[in-house]
Amino acid sequence: MAWTQNGPVSVPPQTAVYFIAALVAVLAVAGAGLGFRAASRESGRPSLGGEAASVVDDAVLARPIVVTPAELQQTAVAAAAASNAAQAGATNAIAAETAAAQEVQAKPSKTPTLSPDEILTSPTEKPQAAAKPAQDEGAPPSASDVPF
């Protein structure tokens, strides 16, 4: 790095700076031109409903691809009813089991209540020394040999 008129700062050559500036200017002009072109197109203003409103007016009702005979449909309805009845019986059994489990969970436990410190302390751990002494410190003596 050489000492130049700009000080001890590395700067690109002036030709590179001019080339990049010209490229940015060309892109700006091209962007403005594309914007004016898009604004001056001959398309009308969009309607409030858009194209979706016109599609709904011409819509055709959907039909199934495979048409089943009426007998198959009746058999399917009867099978669905039998399945629903079996599921209702299973649901009642599950509800009874759930109620029994909730009753067991609702009973209060017989264990004595312990503080978190008692629960987390291992039996081999020594008790912590008291942070405060058993007796408070007395007042300092009233007579002092300090001159001030």
The predicted-structure confidence for 63-114, as pLDDT tens digits, reads as follows: 777 766 666 667 777 778 777 777 777 777 788 888 888 887 777 766 667 7
pLDDT at 17: 92
pLDDT at 145: 72
Coil, strand or helix at 7: strand
Can you give the pTM of this predicted structure?
0.28
| Residue 99 to residue 15: CA distance in whole angstroms | 85
| Strand partners for 4 | 7
**Average pLDDT of the segment spanning 9-36:** 92
Please report how many Cα atoms fall inside a 13 Å half-sphere around the Cα of residue 14, on the Cβ side.
1
Please tell me which residue, 33 or 140, carries the higher pLDDT value: 33
pLDDT tens, position by position, 26-67: 999 999 999 999 888 776 666 665 555 555 566 777 777 776
Tokens of 4: 């130049």
What backbone torsions phi and psi does residue 9 show, to the nearest 5 degrees? Answer: -120, 135
Please tell me which residue, 27 or 134, carries the higher pLDDT value: 27
